[in-house]
A and B are shown apart, each in its own frame.
Chain A
Amino acid sequence: MEKFFVNPGMLWFTLAASVPIIIHLLNKQRYKKIEWAAMKFLLNAMKKTRRRLQIENILLLLVRVLILLLLVFAVARPFFQSSTLSALTTTDTHLIVVLDNSFSMDNKAGIKDTSLDAAKNICQKLISGLKIEQGDQLSLILFDDRPSSIKGEGTIQLKYVRDYLDNLVVTKRVTDVFEALKAAKEVLDKSSNSRKQVYLITDCQRNGWPERNASGFGDFKELITDIAGKSIFNIVDVGAKDPSNLTVSAVSMKKQVAGINEEISFEVQVSNNGPSPVTAVGVNFFVDGLKQGANIVPQINGNGLNVVMFSHTFREAGPHFVSAKIDASDLEADNERFLALDVREKVSILCVDGDPSPAGYISDSESYYFTVALQLSKDAFSRHSVFAVDQMTPVAFFGTDLRSYDVVVLANLDTLTEEKVASLEEYVNSGGSLLVFLGEKVDRLINNELLYKNGAGLLPGELGDIGGNMADMENSIFRITDCDINHPIFKPFRQRKEYLARFIYYQFYKMKVDEKRSDVRVIARYDDPDKSPAIVEKQFGLGKVMVFTSTCDDDWNILPRLEAGEYVALMNETMNYLNSKPFLFKNVNVGEPLQTVVKVEDYAKNFILTAPKSSSVSLRPIEVKNFGFILLHKNTEETGIYTLEKQAADASGQPPQMESLFAVNVNPKEGILEKISEAELKDMLPEVKFSFSEGLEREGGKQLDIKPVASSLWKYLAYAVLALILVESFLTMTFTRKM
């Protein structure tokens, strides 16, 4: 009977169904005897009513017996497993298991088994309760931030799934319940089974659920309401109770450009994702895989973070990587974090001087201060400057190949040719940087025609009149009042804004900037009535163009002569900024694509990308319209350092040449294990009907109690009982009224 009923014990009460029959029989036994004279009438009456009476009696008896039987059955909660009956009843179950295998599921919380182990046990138990041959179906949906269905819907060989589950490990991705439920909904919609059960097995990380005030929350609520309406929806929390975790949440370089032989500072940020403070966290620092230092973070407050600094001087130029690792934390995946960087031997700067000094008066040339400023480093400890400046006259400039330079500086340049502008545009478009200083020699019309091109050219704005007047210096003093202090070039002034106030300009070009354009940005403005732009930048293709609307030297302003080294700092930061090639596709989170630009001459070469666990793929450059060639690699499921090598063009046997390094890290967000509670979920989703269980199958926790899944047949039985009771009352009423 256990095979057919959830509460087989209740079946003893079916005997109660005989009660109406017994009452009926007893009634027949218990009667009065009367001698009756008017028998003829009685006989006639009997003859006429007997048939109807019998039918009525039998009908009533049947209804009463049926009421009792159905009531008992309803309480016993039947489920039919034989295939013939299951077609008639509602027992063929589609079990949809939505299993979280994001890396937070790897958390042990001090015990032997991880959350995933518990989840696997629950899965196995759920699966063992299925009867595939009797119409039950299983869909297993694994999810992190992208759900993947195992073997689609139904028609699964259970053994395959079981083996699969046994070997299942966590991914390195984050949790996204919304996406997972979308997949579950799809399966649910396709399912033809009459009963559907959805088990969402997760560690219930708060970060995995949409926030209540997020824009997509309405859709999420609708989705989950729909799922819970179409199925029996269970949420199983397999996460550790009150989880805590330490995460290396960031490793960053303090400089924008790393050069050889200069001491580079790295900041390692450690987050405490638990409520209670943690003390003495050991942090190890590695450069190119070798341990270079260790430090201890004395204390991190609950749900807070702390940073520790490391420094390193690279002796060799080229791709390098650093990593930071903390000692102990139950969740391993986020204990280490990598940073890939390129160390430059030098940054080549071509400075085209439109106003070179007569021989012997070096300091009179336009670019003198600029060149000196870059030779000095603001950092007193590093004796080496990464910047190598080639000064050049405009005449020489016209014959120079720009591609070997990282930055081209045009200082007070009077002449330009269309041809040169075209080569400049190509240079910037493919990632080069252009810095333009204006001045008395600059021809407004030529510049507007060749460089501005009504907005299509390199210049971010159209040159207007000259503002200020050098001849009347005392009445023509302008300062910078309005500037974007968070821009990287102002980094040294962020803490000391008073230094910015010392910038005094006497004269400048008024530049008309269309500020609605997204690729143009005014970084600083003068305090003249027009609020004319002082520093403007424009994104042009892959490269940047920056314009200082005053002079490079001290002709129109006093900047180079300021005593505290403000000019040096500003120029160095500007160069750093213009050189900072986007790290965007070099250091990514798991799942994000790796991307790098390929030099045009290498477009036909073959590249090999080696993942951390040394599986290699070969990559070919892809052409991107109006851009050039790139390498793209989307499969970044492993964390660590990916190496890109360029193969020799011919089969000469030359070893492949290391081209670049990439770092793939886990999203530190997933390390925040804080859980969302049942009460919160209920509060968040008040209309959604779901059952919530926690601590199942964990050490010291409850075992999952797999009751044979009872069909909702009992509900219909209960309805039937109610209906029959009404029918019975109605029949009794009509029959007795007749009497």
Chain B
Amino acid sequence: MQNYQKYLDPKVLNKISHLELKARMIVEGFIWGLHKSPYHGYSVEFAEHREYSPGDDIKHLDWKVFGRTDRLYLKQYEQETNLSSYILVDTSESMKYKSGPVSKFEYATYIASSLSYLTLQQQDAVGMFCFDKDVVKVVPARTNQVHMKAIVSTLAEAGNVNKTNMESTLHSIAGMIKKRGMIILISDLFDNPERILAGLQHFRYNKNDVIVFHVMDEFETEFPFKDMTKFLGLEGYPDILADPRSLRKAYVAEVEDFVTTIRRGCLKQQIDYVQVTTNQLLDVVLTTYLAKRLGRR
């Protein structure tokens, strides 16, 4: 079990082909590293007593109450299905970029699957939206453990072909989610920041908790290229031939500018913004999620 922790490293995860297994490895590895098990208290909290009516499972009878009062009462536990988590995964073309072994999209699937696994482990419902310029796939929120399979297969099937159009997509997703819950957006956010923020605002308007995992490749933030390079534009951008050394400073400034805009916008809307790069260990992702999750209870 000790070795599970290594699965927090995306490079290691990359060698495992089965996504569900990956998710399990991540979560197990993560949980194993915590001092206190998060399982205790989750979804087993006592809520109230209810009079027995025929057909009820006698497993939940409170024998102590029966002994005192001769009445049959059932122990009623709190329902965890109150919280639904929706994971929004960007499947646009830009997500397929990778400088190392793991592409942004792959990294996004790790996040998505491990969070799904974790959520389901906690008896919560989890749903998923895959989108590019439109909503591509929808997996409704369920608490069923078998539901994991649906999520994993959906992610595996998703291809990266289209452009992003975040605002409209986010609006339409927001319209689809009837019950408020937790919205987890995993994307490289390569779109107009104002429009992204406008889209996110819709979720906040619906009183949802929002976490944004901003996935970028290390190369996209650092721009460490040296030789003359022809950059082939994804998502309909033109190709550019340039000497990257001369552009690096301006590029990095651009990126920082962009990130700052997004971060500020998120802060303003009380949205948790987490910037991750594809070479980062996944525990950051899970810690953030859990912190948010605990804060909600």
| A in complex with B | yes
Chain A residues near B (Cβ < 8 Å): 27-28, 30-46, 48-49, 53, 56, 735-736, 738-739
Q: Which residue of B lies closest to A26 (CB)?
A: B228
- Bound Cα distance from A31 to B245, whole angstroms: 13
Asked whether A42 lies within 8 Å of B230 as measured between CB atoms, the reply is: no
Asked whether B241 lies within 8 Å of A39 as measured between CB atoms, the reply is: no
Q: Which residue of B lies closest to A47 (CB)?
A: B250
Please provide the 7 A-B residue pairs with the shortest distance between their CB atoms, ordered closest to farther.
A45-B250, A39-B237, A37-B94, A37-B97, A36-B231, A31-B228, A41-B254
Asked whether B230 lies within 8 Å of A46 as measured between CB atoms, the reply is: no
Q: Which residue of B lies closest to A735 (CB)?
A: B246
Asked whether A33 lies within 8 Å of B230 as measured between CB atoms, the reply is: yes
Asked whether A41 lies within 8 Å of B255 as measured between CB atoms, the reply is: yes
Chain B: residues with Cβ within 8 Å of the partner, total of: 38
Assuming the contacts A45-B251, A45-B254, A46-B240, asked whether A31 and B229 have C-beta atoms less than 8 A apart, the reply is yes
Quick one: which of B190-241 are within 8 Å of A by CB? 190, 216-217, 220, 225, 227-235, 237-238, 240-241
Contact partners of A42 in chain B: CB under 8 A:
231, 240, 242, 247, 251, 254
Interface of chain A, main secondary structure: helix
Asked whether A32 lies within 8 Å of B228 as measured between CB atoms, the reply is: yes
23 contacts between A and B (CB under 8 A): A31-B241, A32-B228, A32-B229, A36-B97, A36-B231, A37-B188, A37-B235, A38-B97, A38-B188, A39-B235, A39-B240, A41-B255, A42-B231, A42-B247, A42-B251, A44-B254, A45-B254, A46-B250, A49-B246, A49-B247, A56-B246, A738-B246, A738-B249
- Bound Cα distance from A28 to B231, whole angstroms: 13
Asked whether B247 lies within 8 Å of A45 as measured between CB atoms, the reply is: yes
Asked whether A28 lies within 8 Å of B97 as measured between CB atoms, the reply is: no
Contact partners of B241 in chain A: CB under 8 A:
28, 31
Asked whether A739 lies within 8 Å of B237 as measured between CB atoms, the reply is: no
Assuming the contacts A32-B228, A35-B232, A35-B234, asked whether A40 and B251 have C-beta atoms less than 8 A apart, the reply is no
Contact partners of A36 in chain B: CB under 8 A:
97, 231-234, 237, 240
- Bound Cα distance from A328 to B9, whole angstroms: 114
Assuming the contacts A42-B240, A736-B245, A739-B248, asked whether A30 and B228 have C-beta atoms less than 8 A apart, the reply is yes
Asked whether B234 lies within 8 Å of A739 as measured between CB atoms, the reply is: no
- Bound Cα distance from A27 to B248, whole angstroms: 18
Contact partners of A45 in chain B: CB under 8 A:
247, 250-251, 253-254
Asked whether A34 lies within 8 Å of B253 as measured between CB atoms, the reply is: no
Contact partners of B254 in chain A: CB under 8 A:
41-42, 44-45
* A664 CB to nearest B CB, Å: 88
Q: Which residue of B lies closest to A27 (CB)?
A: B228
Assuming the contacts A45-B251, A45-B254, A46-B240, asked whether A39 and B246 have C-beta atoms less than 8 A apart, the reply is no
- Bound Cα distance from A28 to B242, whole angstroms: 9
- Bound Cα distance from A35 to B232, whole angstroms: 4
Asked whether B245 lies within 8 Å of A39 as measured between CB atoms, the reply is: no
- Bound Cα distance from A739 to B244, whole angstroms: 9
Contact partners of B258 in chain A: CB under 8 A:
41
- Bound Cα distance from A739 to B223, whole angstroms: 12
- Bound Cα distance from A32 to B242, whole angstroms: 10
The yes or no answer to B83 lying at the interface (CB within 8 A) is no
* A52 CB to nearest B CB, Å: 9
* A405 CB to nearest B CB, Å: 115
Asked whether B240 lies within 8 Å of A37 as measured between CB atoms, the reply is: no
Q: Which residue of B lies closest to A52 (CB)?
A: B246
* A17 CB to nearest B CB, Å: 23
